[in-house]
Structure 1
Amino acid sequence: MSRIVYVNGEYLPEEEAKVSVFDRGFLFADGVYEVTSVLGGKLIDFDGHFRRLQRSLSELDMQAPEVLGELLEIHRELVARNEIGDGLIYLQITRGAPGDRDFAFPPEGTAPTVVLFTQSKPGLADSPQARAGVRVISIEDIRWGRRDIKTVQLLYPSMGKMMAKKAGADDAWMIEDGFVTEGTSNNAYIVRGGRIITRNLGTEILHGITRAAVLRFAREAQMTVEERPFTIDEAREADEAFFTSASAFVMPVVEIDGAVLGNGTPGPVATRLREIYLDESRKTAV
């Protein structure tokens, strides 16, 4: 059965879905996006993703689509039509298709382009990588300065993942002025002396929805959290490390730039936080 996608008010077989060649998301990466996980047919952290979407639109002075208030229903409809048990829903909103290419923003009233599609990933929460841990390398962070806005400008993160793959690793952590900013598609953490250390919020990193939930759960579990920059040298010498994202949840890191952390297996803090996050998120899923 063909996957059903949503494009500008219509539910369509993916083969029939079309977006204009003049769409600014295609021509200028002038768009924002969100990815929401689905576990057991329910949406994880939807409210957080929705609020961040609104912030991204506002920060880019992008018109909110008329269907903004209907996004929960659209997500649920796509889950139902595509029979998604575990998986992801990708949402993208661009500044629209004004009919020609121009660096200037399109005329007021140009309708935004709204696209959503599903990805079925059975067993999403039961990841073999989470049991074994992943390996990361460090790369220079050369992205633009507003990483707190979740835009579709993802070329360098994509290149970073390929750098990691070529190095025989799973992902890359980006470094700016000696300090870790974040992973290619995730927020980064280390654990030293029982303290969870992660970069404080600012324009240098994405304000992760999973990050916010995990830190809240960590504090509720009486874990010590330090929000501050940490160096790549600190990371290599850490007791353990992990990253968080909407699709990976809490993912243990067992090696950084070839340096093995701890005994080379997922540490107790990351393992426990993953358990807590999945348990608590399932309780509030919609």
Structure 2
Amino acid sequence: MVKILWNDRIINEEDVKIGFEDRGYQFGDGVYEVIKIYNGDVFTATEHIDRLYESADKIQLVIPYTKDVLHKMLYELIELNEVKNGQIYLQVTRGTSPRQHNFPTPAVESVLTAYTKETNRPLSQLQTGVKACFVEDMRWLRCDIKSLNLLGNVLAKQEAVSKDCFEAILHRGEVITEGSSSNMYGIKNGVLYTHPANNLILNGITRRVIFACCEEIGMPVVEEAFTKQQALEMDEFIMSSTSAEVMPIVSIDDQMIGSGTRGQWTEKLQQAFEKKIPVSVGI
């Protein structure tokens, strides 16, 4: 029987009750994280939990548990569900109160939910690469907040899927920002280029791991916006996310990138990333 973390209790799935006036349901008023589980261990848990609290602070949302307590509850949830490889989804909403756009006065208690899911690594795609397409970035201007307001991301992802693509590469005008659920990078002459971490993108946790990998393999990183045309002219192109890891993009809008296969620098980054996984299973 699946166990769910509901506030400070771990209960059976069917016993979870979310109010119909929960502000997460009605307004998307909340924040979330997705954390990878490798061999029963939570990967970069501290970084994900820190970012959850940072996002909450940015929308003036109080999480009524310390980070240490939340860590403990998440590990307990993994153990009870006996998850070996997969992920944790957790979210915190501003709570349940009569519907009004402004924050509840007085404040109500926030609602935390989390669950686990078994998932496999995309090993085949990590080798062969995936297709992507350009989609105009129509989202709000606080993409640095990992909020529940994801309709813009959903529409972009659906456009990519309708074109038989793995991911949408978002752009504001001609400038590449990120993916619908990922960060984007171009590689040219052995240098990694990616949009700076400002309000237009989410500073991904895997993105930060990739920067550490770049330092280890002697690959310069330039946090500088680049254009759609420059993206097409890159030697290699990659995306990253908790689930996709370091994923090669071999074509954009049906135009081949570089040789149209996983490049040498991409492979080096994947190998460096692999070494950081608690138990290596190989790619």
Q: Tell me which interval the TM-score lies in, with the shorter structure as reference length.
A: over 0.9
Q: Distance in 2 between matches of 1:86 and 1:272?
A: 23
Q: Is this contact kept in 2: 1:38–1:87, CA < 8 A? A: yes
Q: Is this contact kept in 2: 1:250–1:273, CA < 8 A? A: yes
- Most deviating of 33-42 and 158-167: 158-167
The Cα of 1:107 is off from its aligned counterpart by: 2.2
1:171 alignment partner AA: E
- Residues 128-185 of structure 1: per-residue CA shift (max 9 Å, x gap): 1111101100011010000000001111111111111111111101010211000011
Query: 2:191 corresponds to which residue?
Result: 195
2:38 alignment partner AA: L
2:12 alignment partner AA: P
Q: Distance in 1 between matches of 2:136 and 2:4?
A: 36
Query: 1:113 corresponds to which residue?
Result: 111
In the alignment, structure 1 residue 267 sits paired with structure 2 residue 266: no
TM-score, normalised on structure 1? 0.94
2:233 alignment partner AA: E
1:63 alignment partner AA: V
Unpaired runs of 5+ residues, structure 2, are none
Q: Distance in 2 between matches of 1:102 and 1:32?
A: 19
Within 5 Å, give how 1:199-214 maps onto structure 2.
Answer: 199-214=195-210
2:89 alignment partner AA: Y
Query: 1:21 corresponds to which residue?
Result: 20
Q: Is this contact kept in 1: 2:22–2:95, CA < 8 A? A: yes
Q: Distance in 1 between matches of 2:244 and 2:17?
A: 30
1:107 alignment partner AA: T
Pick from 178, 181, 185: which aligns with 1:182? 178
1:233 alignment partner AA: Q
Query: 2:81 corresponds to which residue?
Result: 82
Q: Is this contact kept in 2: 1:236–1:257, CA < 8 A? A: no
The Cα of 1:108 is off from its aligned counterpart by: 3.7
Query: 2:90 corresponds to which residue?
Result: 91
Query: 2:102 corresponds to which residue?
Result: 104
- Residues 41-78 of structure 1: per-residue CA shift (max 9 Å, x gap): 00101111111111101110111223543111111111
TM-score, normalised on structure 2? 0.95
Query: 1:142 corresponds to which residue?
Result: 138
Query: 2:215 corresponds to which residue?
Result: 219
Q: Distance in 1 between matches of 2:16 and 2:123?
A: 31
Q: Is this contact kept in 2: 1:173–1:184, CA < 8 A? A: yes
- Residues 209-236 of structure 1: per-residue CA shift (max 9 Å, x gap): 1111111220222111111001111111
Q: Distance in 2 between matches of 1:135 and 1:215?
A: 23
Q: Distance in 2 between matches of 1:112 and 1:274?
A: 39
Partner secondary structure for residue 275 of structure 2: helix
| Runs of 4+ in structure 1 over 2 Å off | 66-69
Q: Distance in 2 between matches of 1:93 and 1:68?
A: 13
Q: Is this contact kept in 2: 1:45–1:281, CA < 8 A? A: no
Unpaired runs of 5+ residues, structure 1, are none
Q: Is this contact kept in 1: 2:19–2:96, CA < 8 A? A: yes
Q: Distance in 2 between matches of 1:64 and 1:16?
A: 22
Partner secondary structure for residue 115 of structure 2: strand
Query: 2:239 corresponds to which residue?
Result: 243
Q: Is this contact kept in 2: 1:195–1:224, CA < 8 A? A: yes
Q: Distance in 2 between matches of 1:278 and 1:153?
A: 32
Partner secondary structure for residue 282 of structure 1: coil
Q: Is this contact kept in 2: 1:65–1:114, CA < 8 A? A: no
Q: Is this contact kept in 1: 2:217–2:272, CA < 8 A? A: no
Partner secondary structure for residue 190 of structure 1: strand
Q: Distance in 1 between matches of 2:220 and 2:102?
A: 48
2:54 alignment partner AA: R
1:227 alignment partner AA: E
Q: Is this contact kept in 1: 2:217–2:268, CA < 8 A? A: no
The Cα of 1:19 is off from its aligned counterpart by: 0.7
Give identity over the alignment, percent.
Answer: 33
